Amino acid sequence: MKILLADDHFLVLEGLEVLLSTFEFVEKTERVLDFVQLKDTLTEENFDVLLLDIHFGKHDGREIIGEIKQMAPDMKIIALTSHADSVTITSSVNAGFDGYLLKIDGRDEIEKALKAVTNDEKYFSPKTQQVFFEMNASKNNVELTEREKEILQLIVQEKTTKEIADQLCLSKKTIETHRASLMQKLEVKNIAGMVKKAIMQGLVEI
């Protein structure tokens, strides 16, 4: 197995390389410190797994994963982060990560994650499993109409009421009615709360 490590913290990379060198199934590891290096490396060589820091220097891993997958569609990508909150976990999964590891996870968890994703399985370390599956359970309890889902997606994209109305060929009053219904169903008091909960529960694409 060939593994690429992407993190802007040198000590994290060094520690991971040492750890991965103890796995018999790991043929090679390579490290990159920024997105430019990452793209250059992927144009030169193929890897089986990428361990990507979600907060990768100036870039957010959730925003660049699409570009990475275009460059290496067969490579599995595992999120590597110190963040164990539900918003970060759920938004990362929705962005397309194949697995989710915390930087405090041990050797056994890293080994399990690598083997799982290369076997086309999703992997969450035990510290993140409960958070993610609780969010999925709560997601299933929110029933939105197709129109509400459409409007919610546009709200998350920071569209104004007028812009949403124009795009969907509806009146502003109709959009406001749907927005009020969304706030009631999601049990939030304002747009900021609506956006946060929509992302946290995986109700929209980001």
Domain ranges of the chain: 2-129, 139-200
* Element containing residue 133 per DSSP (H, E): helix 126-140
Is the separation of the CB atoms in 195 and 156 below 8 Å? yes
Per-residue pLDDT tens digits for 37-85 = 999 999 999 999 999 999 898 899 998 999 999 999 999 999 998 888 7
Count CB neighbours of 91 within 10 A: 19
Closest CA to 98 of 131, 61, 71: 61
* Of residues 142 and 206, more confidently modeled: 142
pLDDT at 139: 54
Fold of 139-200: Arc Repressor Mutant, subunit A (1.10.10)
If you classify domain 2-129 with CATH, what class do you get? alpha beta
Per-residue pLDDT tens digits for 105-150 = 889 999 999 999 999 998 988 877 766 666 555 555 678 899 999 9
